[in-house]
Amino acid sequence: MILSHLSSLPQFKVLKQQECYQKYISLLSPKWQKAVAFVYIKEETLFIAVTHPGFKMELNYNRDLLKSLLMQLNTHVSDCKMFTASKVVIFHSKYHALPEDKVPEVTVPYYEERAEGNFTLPQDDVLKESFERIKALIQCKQ
């Protein structure tokens, strides 16, 4: 009740608009919901920002559907009656909706050292030095 009262105040009218924009996006199919970064209405024009240029082309073919969804939102939701648009403009935006928190994937596998460094050393001095360095590295890792 308190939140609805606060959102009805004139200084918080942007919250009502944002709520209507989210309702409009929720009317779209799930594939298009992922494609839309954000929407807004300015001067009787519905602007739809998409996340990829391929979606722009697909949504351009369905402008009539986008207009009819806006009309349905106007008729069925009383808070969103002020949203009317005669044109639909679709554009690609580099700005996206806030990403959901995802657990970062660890891609580098970490293994425990299984070698103990006990091996026979060769007679050659150059190879013997190399084997000694390898042995020291293995013992450091343990």
Q: Does residue 100 carry a pLDDT above 70?
A: no
Residue whose tokens read 């639909």: 88
Please tell me the class of the 6-92 domain.
alpha beta
Residue 17 buriedness (CB in 10 A; 0-12 / 13-18 / 19+): middle
Amino acid found at 85: A
Helices (H), the chain: 2-7, 13-27, 30-35, 53-60, 63-76, 125-141
Tokens of residue 27, six digits: 């009317």
The answer to whether the Cα torsion of 79, 82, 29, 37 is positive or negative is negative
DSSP class of residue 92 equals E
Tokens of residue 130, six digits: 């190399």
* pLDDT tier, 48 (very low <50, low <70, confident <90, very high otherwise): very high
* pLDDT tier, 97 (very low <50, low <70, confident <90, very high otherwise): low
Give 64-75 pLDDT, tens digit per residue.
888 998 888 888
